[in-house]
Amino acid sequence: ATLLLGGCSLYPEPVGTAEDTMPLKEKDRQYQDIPVPRNFVYREESFGFQHGKFRCCNLLYAGTLDVGSTTEFMNRQMKLAGWELMERSLENGRTIMAFAKDTSYAKGGERCTVTIQRRSNDRKTLLTVTIKPSENEPVPAPAPRAEP
């Protein structure tokens, strides 16, 4: 099961307009403050948008590193990237880690949920990284999708 990005839709009044909101682009497949283990491949099911410093995204990666090693990598590297581990749990074979960054209201904090699980169909490890503004931050309106 894929972790759904629910936090971005909880805010009743989006900030900004569609013109102000930038959809996730090719170059944003990996943010500098979100470490991804070597040999993990970006999955096209990923989605997200960014408005100024505010990000709201669900990034998916698949790789061959085992769940335990991936968990330790993410725990260690997220701390080095400035994220604070708030909670860690194991649910139905999935490791879930909740991180926070710049949690003061003045700085415009973010939350990041990292989910790591082993897929049974191809034995790959699935890494899901969900980023959203802290609960006290408004979310900008997403850009409309271009018609094919």
Section 60-70 average pLDDT: 94
pLDDT for residue 36 is more than 90: yes
The string of DSSP letters for 6-53 reads: -GGG--SS-BS-GGGPEEP-GGGGS-TTS---TT-EE-TT-EEEEETT
Q: Count Cβ atoms within 10 A of the Cβ of residue 55 and give its class: 0-12 exposed, 13-18 middle, 19 or more buried.
A: buried
Cα 144 from Cα 70, distance rounded (Å): 34
Question: What pLDDT score was predicted for residue 144?
Answer: 58
Q: Global pTM?
A: 0.72
Band of residue 2 on the pLDDT scale cut at 50, 70, 90:
very low
Cα 139 from Cα 56, distance rounded (Å): 8
